[in-house]
Every structure is written in C-alpha cells, then in structure tokens.
Amino acid sequence: MAMQSILDDTATFMEHLGLGEEPFGVYYSDTLPENAYGPKKGTPISRELEESGQLDMQEVMKSFSCVIGNIWLARKKRSAAFISSEEYGCPGGVYYCSMMKPHLRFIEHYVSTGFEGTPLHGERYMPNPDAMREFMLKVNPREATGKYCIFKPLSSFTDAEKPEFVIFFARPEILTGLFIQTVFTTGDMECVVSPFGAGCTGLLAWPLYYQQQGLEKAVLGGLDPSARKFMKTDELTFTVPLGLYEKMLAALPDSMFNHETDWKSVRKKVERSAKAWGEES
C-alpha cells in the first residue's frame, strides 16, 4: 500500500476511533530527521567493559535519558525522537531498541532487587536478577539495521522510507477499538499480547520479537511504572507491524465502525471524555 493511502485510511480510522493524536512510526536509518529529540552522547558502554570492571555506572547514569521521555517531547512538538549506540541515554533502552548486544548485567539487578549491601535496592519489577536475565535473553532484539532508531509521526513517512511498526497512544475506550479491529482483521483471539517490559520494550523490542517468530501480533504496552511520567493519565501504547496495520485499514469497511454496533455508544463516551480532558476527539 502506498504511504499516502495509509495516511488517508489512518485519518478515517482515527475519526472512527475518536482519536485526536496521530500514531507514530518507528524505523532505522543512518540519517536523523531535523530537530529530533534524543540523548546526549554518553560514556562508552558494553558487556566487555562491564565485566572487566571498567564501566562506571554512576558516570553512565549521569547522561540518563528515557526513550519514552524523548518520544513524549516528540509527541508534544510533532517531531522525531531517536536513540543510537553512542547517544543511548538509557542502558536498558539501548538494548531494547536493538542498538547494543549483549545487555549489561547491571540491568538484571537494577530492575529486580538491586545489589545486596549497597544503596541500590532495585526497582522491584522482577523478583530476582535471574528472572530478569531470563526476560532479557528471551526478548533478544535483532541487530539494528541503521545507526539510529527513530520514532516520528506517521505523516512524516513517505514511500521511500516506511515505518516497520505503527504506534498508537490511547486510553481504554480507543484501545477497545484498536483491539477489536485487530481481532476482526486476524480472526485470532490472541492477536494482541501484553508481556512484561519497559515502556520501549512494548513499543519495539516485543514487536520485533514476534516479527522474528513469524507471528502477526499487536503489542499492548505502557505498563512500566518508570515510563508513566511520560504518558497521559490512563494512556497505554498499542504497537502494530506495518503489514498487519495495512490489513486492519483494509478491513475497516466491514468492521464494527461501519455497522450498527455497540461501538457507537463507546464513540460517544470517547467524545464526552475528550471534552472533559480538554482534548480533540
């Protein structure tokens, strides 16, 4: 499907959903768009440096910058956000976005129970470092296909540079529409998955995982407490591979949006909620 057709059909889909903010796309490139938000260049990091005792994590964390935080800025400015192996910002995000392998072992402790006898007590999202290590090894993002991993509004793409995945930011009623359209398109009751992970894991690492498995899945994310500060109240993420998204758009005429269904009452609720929040619907 031509990019302009995708954009035209997306406008129709957004109207059906009552969604005022266009989705983002993610892709890899050796060239950055203008005015892209991203981390500053940090001290070099790698498993090799970590294991040889040459990696100062306090120094690494001085330049911390969250992938979701940079996307939040890009959303507000309708611009782009990026991460690279040198401008990584987050020692977890650089792995989840395919910019560094293998992951730092530090993350196994940081996200779980910390380091015993130190002030780092961990985020307590996983019960122990072993469980976190198992998760990191399973996600195992592929190697990046470009110098930069870039997130930008869908309307910024052209036929010459299409997104690999389409990312929606939405509240539950609109997510209901996205969820049902995915089910209606695929006929698969398990076509939407929501595995554990950081905010950027749900945006990209898990979608890449299912793509590599040859599975057509949408990923519901945004359940990372650390990323919530960069998201609206009650908002979650919904990431769809471009091929599946095109099928979802093609299935719109026959879906619940164009027939007498309960979606109409949901759509009215979306409108009321948008007015209450002072948002476009």
* Predicted pLDDT at 187: 98
* Predicted pLDDT at 252: 98
Q: Return d(Cα 130, Cα 127) in angstroms, integer.
A: 8
As averages over each run of 10 residues, the pLDDT of the chain (281 residues) reads: 96 97 98 96 96 95 96 98 97 97 96 88 96 98 96 97 97 97 98 98 98 97 97 97 98 96 95 71 41
Amino acid sitting at position 214: G
Pairing label, strands 24-29, 148-153? antiparallel
Burial of 168 (0-12, 13-18, 19+ CB in 10 A): buried
* Predicted pLDDT at 120: 84
Peptide bond into 153 cis (omega under 30): no
Long-range contacts, stretch 7-16, CB < 8 angstroms, 24+ apart: 7/154, 7/155, 9/249, 9/250, 9/252, 10/154, 10/249, 12/252, 13/181, 13/248, 13/249, 13/252, 16/177, 16/252, 16/257, 16/263, 16/267
Amino acid sitting at position 215: L
- R_g of the chain, CA atoms, integer Å: 19
Angle between helices 263-277 and 172-186 (to 10 degrees): 150
Pairing label, strands 81-84, 236-241? unpaired
* Predicted pLDDT at 281: 41
Element (H, E) at 81: strand 81-84
Residues facing 83 on adjacent strands: 149
Q: Return d(Cα 32, Cα 213) in angstroms, integer.
A: 29
